[in-house]
Structure 1
C-alpha cells in the first residue's frame, strides 16, 4: 500500500463507486487504499474480469509542472515495464477538466502489503528477520534500482523508502511511486538553480532518506544517482533493525554521518560493512549499484543466488551497449576470503574481454518471504559453506559474469568509444548548426533588401509630397486671376450675372447707337449700318469662345496653361471696339 508524505492539501476526488474507462480497461472504483499530498490510490475492479484488481492512482494537475511530473512517471514505468521488481503499468489516461486543470489516472499492478506494514507486524512480536530474508528482499530492491541506473540517461528514483516498496502475491518486492525521478545530475552553482533544486528536494524527497549533498547544496557535490545509494543504506538499516538510521531526521545528524549500528540483532560484518559503505558522506566514496548487487548476492546461500541482475525485457544485450550509460563505473571490492588477483569470481567478471553466451538461470522458488518463522541461529546460517564453492559452481558463475560483461560491452568502455546513438546525435546537432547558419545568412540578405526598398519608398513619398506642395503653391498664385474684372461675370452668382448683363447691354446699345450716328470712313470697308459681316462673325466667335474659355477656366482653375490662354483672349477682347462687347 502506498503512503505518501503530505506536502499540500489534496483536492477531493470522490471516485468511489464510479465506472471509468482508462485506455482499454473498464474498471469500477472501490475504496481508497492510500492518500498523499499529490495523489490518491484506489482499489479498482475490472468490470470484464471481476477477479482482476488494480491500484488506480489518481492525480490532479493544476499546472504544467505537475503534469510534467506525471508524464515523467508514465515514461519511466513504460521503460521498466516487465521488470519483476517494478510495479506494472497497465493503462493510463489524461483527462481535461477545464480551466487549465487536468486529471491523471494510472491503472497499475495491485499489491496487498507494503514494507511498512510488514515491519510493523514483525515488530509486534514476530521478531527480527533472518539475514537471508533481509538480503533476499534487499536484492529485489537493488534489482529495480539497477534497472533504473542502467538507463540512458541514468534515472535516479530520489525517494527510495519503505513506504514505496510493495509485496506482490508471488513474494517479490516491487518498487513504486516514480513521481520524483530525475535525470538532472549536476553540481548546482548559481543561487537561482540552488533555490529551484532545494524546492524540488523539499517537495519530492523524504528527509530521513535524504543524502547529505541534497541537504547542503553549498558542498558543491554532484547530485546524481548516488543519492539512491544513500537511501538504500537507510533502507537496509531499517529492514535490519526496524528503525531509521537517523532518528529525528536531523540535518546535522545526517551531514555528520552520526548513526550507530545496534548490537541486537546481530548480523554479519558483511551486512554492517555494506550499510557503512552506502552511508558514506561523499557520493564518490559510495559503491555503485552493480557493486552492491553482487555483494548482496554473494552473501546469500548458493540456492538463492542469481547469475545476473534482472532487467526489463526490452533491455537486451544488443541495446545495452548503445543505449545504457557507462555502468558499472568502478571495480567492485574483492570477494570476502578470496584475493582479487586470484582470478576468481569477481576477477573473472572484470578481466574478461571476450564473453561467452551461456547464462545460468537460478531457481527462485526457494526465496523466503518475511512471514517465515524466525530461526535462533540466523546470523550463523548465512555464511556459505566451503562445499558450496566447488568447481562446477565457479565455472557456471564465471560464465554468468562473462555474459554480464558482454551486456555492458567493457571493451568499448575501456577504449573510450562513444555509443552509436551519441554519435548520431552529435551528427544531428552539427547538421542543425549548419542549417541555422544558412538560415541566418538568408535572414541577413532579406533584411538588407528590405532596408533598400524602404529607402526607395521613403524617397518616392518625399517626391510626391514635394509635387503636391508645388501644385498647391501654383494654384494659390493663379487664384487672383479669377477675381479680375473681365472674369467676375463668370464667377459670380446668376443674379449678379444677370444684372451685369443688363448693364452691359445698355452700355452696348448706347455705344452702338453713337457709333451708328457717326459716319464711317470708306477706307474701313463698313456697311452703311456700320457692321461688316466677316468682322461680326469673328467678333461673335471670339466672344463666345472667350466666355466658354472663361467658364472652363473657372471649372478647371488648377491648369495654369488654360488660365494663360484665357488672359490672352481677354486682352484680345479688350483690344476690339466697344461695340463688340454685347455679342
Structure 2
C-alpha cells in the first residue's frame, strides 16, 4: 500500500515538474538540460502538451541542432510503453513527403516501474496550420484560395499513404508454419510525389549510401544510421535518464531479421490505416512555407473495425473520446453502433472539418451555440448541423465549398474516398490556375 502511494506521489511530482517548466518557459529562467541516449539537450521551451505527453523545443548541446522532443510518460509500465511504441511504428510505417519523419527514439527508466518514451522529430520553425489560422484571424486576413487548396491537397496525399497502405508480403517462413512468426518490415507508402521532402531534414551518413534509410532503418541525431552506429559512441547516461531500450534500434533489428526489402508497387495486401486526429494543429508547415506535413500519429489505428457487440462499440467510443479532438471527430465515433464497421472514412470527415477551419477560422461545429450557449457539440456533429458563415459569402469558389460539403456527410458511405477527394481537389486547383 505504502509503495503504491509513493509511486502515485512520484508520478504526480513529475507531472507537476513538467507543468511548472511549461509555465516557466515563458519567463526568464535558465534552460533545463536533459540527457537521452548519452547526449545532452538544452530545453528551450514547451511547444505543446496533452494527456501524458509534452513536446519541447530542444537543442543538441554538441551540434546546436534544434529538434522537437516528445516526452511520453508511461506510468503503467510496459502497457504504456507498448502504446507509445505503436506511435513510433506508425512514424516508421508511413513514408511520404507530407508525413513527418521520426529521427530517433528511446525509452528511459522512470521512477519505480514507470518509463518515459522520448521521440525526436524535426522542428518546423513555421509552426502548424492552426498557428496560421490564428495569425490570419488576428490580422483580419485569410488564406488565398489556391494556397488553401494546395495545402489541403498535400494533406490528402499524406492521408492517402495511410488509407492505401500495402502490407509487406509474407515470407516463406511465415507461411510454412515451421518457424515462429516474424514481423515483416513496413513497406514505404508513397504517393505520386516520390521525392522525400523530409530527407533534407535528416542527417546524412558520410558514405552517402541511403540504403538503410530506404529499408526502414532510422537515422539518429548522431548523424549516423542507427544500425551502423557503434554503441560505444554513446556516453554513459546518468541515473535520472537511464537508457533501457532504443526504440529505433529495436525496430531496425526487427526489420533486419524479417529480411523484407519492401513491396514493389501493386504487390501486398492493402491494409488501410486511419489517423483519427486530423486537424490544423496536427499539420505542420515545412520550412519551404508551402508543404504541409501531417504529424502526431498517437491515435493511428487500423481503419476497418467490425463492431460485433456493445462492448466493442463502447471500447471504440471511449478510444475516440480520448484520442480524437471533438470538433474534428466523425459522427460515427460519437455513438458507435453495433453491427457497423468503422472505416477510414472517419479521416475524410476530419479533412472536411480541417478545410472548413482553413476557410473560416474555426471548425464547422465550434459555433457560438456550441461554445458559449451550452449547446451540444456532439449532437451538432451527429446531426451534421453546420453552416458556411454568411459574412464570408463570395469569398470561396463553389468548387472549394463543394469539397467541404462532400466530406461532411453524416453517412460515411456517402463521403468520397481519399482517391476521389484528391481528384476533386485537383479539379478545384485547375480552375484556380
When normalised by structure 1's length, the TM-score is 0.48
Q: Which residue of 2 aligns with 1:87?
A: 100
- Describe the SS at the equivalent of 2:306: coil
Q: Which residue of 1 aligns with 2:193?
A: none
CA shift in 2, pair 1:183/1:123, >3 Å: same
For 1:225 and 1:253, how far apart are their aligned partners in 2?
21
- Describe the SS at the equivalent of 1:41: strand
Of the three residues 32, 37, 41, the one matched with 1:17 is 32
Q: Which residue of 1 aligns with 2:382?
A: 255
Q: Which residue of 1 aligns with 2:275?
A: 157
User: What's the C-alpha RMSD, in Å, of the aligned pairs?
Assistant: 2.2
For 1:165 and 1:265, how far apart are their aligned partners in 2?
26
- Describe the SS at the equivalent of 1:300: helix
Q: Deviations over 1:451-485 (max 9, x none)?
A: xxxxxxxxxxxxxxxxxxxxxxxxxxxxxxxxxxx
Q: Report the Cα offset of residue 218 of structure 1.
A: 2.5
For 2:80 and 2:323, how far apart are their aligned partners in 1?
11
Alignment partner of 1:203 is 2:322: yes
Q: Report the Cα offset of residue 258 of structure 1.
A: 0.9
CA shift in 2, pair 1:26/1:84, >3 Å: farther
Q: Report the Cα offset of residue 221 of structure 1.
A: 3.1
Residue pair 1:161, 1:209 contacting (<8 A) in 2 also: yes
- Describe the SS at the equivalent of 2:296: coil
For 2:72 and 2:112, how far apart are their aligned partners in 1?
16
Residue pair 2:146, 2:432 contacting (<8 A) in 1 also: no
Matches within 5 A, 1:169-568: 169-171=287-289, 172-183=291-302, 185-218=304-337, 220-246=339-365, 247=367, 248=370, 250-263=377-390, 264-266=392-394, 267-301=396-430, 382-384=431-433
User: 5+ unaligned residues in a row in structure 1: which ranges?
Assistant: 1-7, 302-381, 385-583
Matches within 5 A, 1:103-182: 103-112=116-125, 113-151=127-165, 152=167, 153-171=271-289, 172-182=291-301
Alignment partner of 1:96 is 2:115: no
For 1:26 and 1:283, how far apart are their aligned partners in 2?
48
CA shift in 2, pair 1:184/1:88, >3 Å: closer
User: By percentage of residues, which structure has more helix?
Assistant: 1
- Total equivalences in the alignment: 294
For 2:37 and 2:278, how far apart are their aligned partners in 1?
28
- Describe the SS at the equivalent of 1:105: strand
For 1:255 and 1:219, how far apart are their aligned partners in 2?
16
User: By percentage of residues, which structure has more strand?
Assistant: 2
Alignment partner of 1:47 is 2:166: no
Residue pair 1:20, 1:29 contacting (<8 A) in 2 also: no
For 1:271 and 1:229, how far apart are their aligned partners in 2?
15
Residue pair 1:22, 1:105 contacting (<8 A) in 2 also: no
Q: Which has the larger radius of gyration?
A: 1
CA shift in 2, pair 1:219/1:279, >3 Å: farther
Q: Report the Cα offset of residue 77 of structure 1.
A: 0.7
For 1:43 and 1:65, how far apart are their aligned partners in 2?
27
For 2:345 and 2:66, how far apart are their aligned partners in 1?
35
For 2:408 and 2:341, how far apart are their aligned partners in 1?
16
For 1:19 and 1:65, how far apart are their aligned partners in 2?
25
CA shift in 2, pair 1:222/1:198, >3 Å: same
Residue pair 1:17, 1:29 contacting (<8 A) in 2 also: yes
Q: Deviations over 1:74-117 (max 9, x none)?
A: 01111224x22122211100112253211100110101212111
- Describe the SS at the equivalent of 1:40: strand
For 2:111 and 2:40, how far apart are their aligned partners in 1?
23
For 1:13 and 1:55, how far apart are their aligned partners in 2?
19
Residue pair 1:160, 1:231 contacting (<8 A) in 2 also: yes
CA shift in 2, pair 1:219/1:133, >3 Å: farther
Q: Which residue of 1 aligns with 2:196?
A: none
Residue pair 1:89, 1:108 contacting (<8 A) in 2 also: yes
Q: Report the Cα offset of residue 265 of structure 1.
A: 4.6
Residue pair 1:22, 1:107 contacting (<8 A) in 2 also: no
For 2:281 and 2:53, how far apart are their aligned partners in 1?
14
For 1:270 and 1:184, how far apart are their aligned partners in 2?
28
Q: Report the Cα offset of residue 185 of structure 1.
A: 1.8
CA shift in 2, pair 1:123/1:33, >3 Å: same
- Higher relative contact order, structure no. (Cα contacts within 8 Å, ≥ 6 residues apart): 2
For 1:252 and 1:166, how far apart are their aligned partners in 2?
30
Q: Report the Cα offset of residue 26 of structure 1.
A: 5.0
